Chain A
Amino acid sequence: MYQTENISEQVQAPGNDEVVMVVRNLSKSFGSNQVLNDFSVTLRRGENVVVLGKSGSGKSVLIKCIIGLLKPDSGCIEVFGQRIPDLNAEALDAIRMKIGFLFQSNALYDSMTVRENLEFPLRRHSILLTQEEVDQLVKDALADVKLEHTIDMMPAELSGGMRKRIALARTLILKPAIILYDEPTTGLDPITAREIIDLIMEVQKKYHAASLIISHDMNCVRMVADRVVMLIGGRNYKEAPYEELIQSDDPGIKAFFE
């Protein structure tokens, strides 16, 4: 079912443009609803790739397959040379520690304070940390998003933009090598959206992480994207830098840029 050819060598190739993640010919359907149909994307270290597609095109399904929340019907997903759909629970947890996932709805635990939200991944993954180390990591993560004062607040007491930033802090607390952003700026005002975009770019510089960003916010795409992959009808419609796409005459592409 999965691709037989060996792409591990390619994945482990050293150097600055080391490939950290490969998705190849990914298909996923729910009943008769074929959402993804032979979709492929590759991610290299230090790179920001944007997946662009309209609402309901299967962007969230794509990254949920990458993180192992959904099982693909067919196709290959390799992260650091390991095939996600084949991993057992422990191996999957180990690889998930290296992947940050920013949920579209933030997914902050509303029965926990901001501190407990940030501590959750630190305490639940099998890493041994002292209380001081945990406190320090939480403080640093909050400082990164400039929300130190919210540490003892509940998510319900925060504004939408603040919640997004806390969710981002929680995503980044384990210093992941790959970060998957599911529509990081959707539903935010332009100023807050701009702050989130700046944070994403800062993170890329600071940790040299590889990011897969799902978005249909053109401001966000323009500013963060090294490469844009267009997802239409479950397939790769086009893959190009932003500058190239805006000059395209293709009506299917133009529709996004108006």
Chain B
Amino acid sequence: MFSSRYWKFFFEETGNIARFAGRLFSQWGKPRYEIAEFFRQCYIIGYKSLPLVTLTTFIMGLVLTMQIRPFLVDYGVESQLPAMVGIAIVREIGPVITALIFAGKIGSSIGAELGSMKVTEQIDAMEVSGTNPFKYLVVTRVLAATFMLPLLAILGDVVALYGAYLGVNMSGVTSFELFWAKVFKYLSFSDVLPAFVKSFFFGFAVGIVGCYKGYYSKKGTEGVGQSANSAVVLSSVLIFIIDLIAVQITDVLNLN
């Protein structure tokens, strides 16, 4: 795994994606602006991920609560359960789980869609029809992913907390109001903000990797499958790396 060939590939790929991102930054400020296509992509990307994000974050909140409870019971601090899962969900689990689901759903579909457009010459056809395909396809999708993921992450937080509320109520009774009061007692703005900010970066990573893999897809149907697959793998890894960097930054800035 750590042979020199592996590292060469890793650095080449990183360089290519950085160049791709550079092209994106140099183009998105210039007309023509593909506003209609951007909103269409926002709708598609956001709407497509809704059911999965809701389901997975709900289960995550519920399961997390049930797993943590025995530990807190042992120490006699069961009443702190909402606060503890609240922190875990808002700071880490909500955004990261949402981002990973998003990578699986949206990263792969962008990779496959652009990949098949590439191999069937649809991207070339757009170019000869008075359209800059990079702006029309790539910029709109990357921006849509960047702006939709934070919204989905907030939704994921809320749904996971609702799952946690049900988890708390599985043994013992806590009223809805009391649960939320306990969650917010220990939850401050400095917990919410870094998580919100990093989910923009998660979204950007999923969008740019999906587009890059699709846009440079190898010829043939096999190439399309590979694009979709490697888009998911690479963007999932990137999500963890961004998460690691984000926690260092919040640490240095003393936001913890």
Contact = CB atoms under 8 A, between A and B. Distances in A.
A34 B121 CA distance: 22
Given A110-B116, A111-B113, A126 B130 contact: yes
Q: Interface SS of chain B: helix, strand, loop or mixed?
A: helix
Given A105-B120, A109-B122, A125 B127 contact: no
A101 B120 contact: no
Given A104-B121, A107-B121, A111-B113, A69 B128 contact: yes
Contacts, number: 48
Nearest to A112: B122
Given A110-B116, A111-B113, A125 B124 contact: no
Interface of A: 64, 67-69, 89, 93, 96-97, 99, 101, 103-111, 120-121, 124-126
21 contacts: A69-B128, A89-B132, A96-B129, A99-B128, A101-B128, A103-B125, A104-B121, A106-B120, A107-B120, A107-B121, A109-B122, A109-B125, A110-B120, A111-B113, A120-B126, A120-B129, A121-B129, A121-B130, A124-B129, A124-B131, A126-B130
Nearest to B121: A107
Nearest to B119: A105
A160 B128 CA distance: 23
A103 B130 contact: no
Given A105-B120, A110-B116, A111-B113, A93 B125 contact: no
Contact of A96 (B116, B122, B130, B132): B130
Contacts of B121: 103-105, 107
A231 to B, nearest CB: 20
B125 A107 contact: yes
A120 B121 CA distance: 15
Contacts of B125: 101, 103, 107, 109
B124 A69 contact: yes
Contacts of A68: 128
Interface string B101-139: 000000000000100110011101111111110000000
Nearest to B120: A105
Contacts of A104: 121
Contacts of B127: 69
Nearest to B113: A111
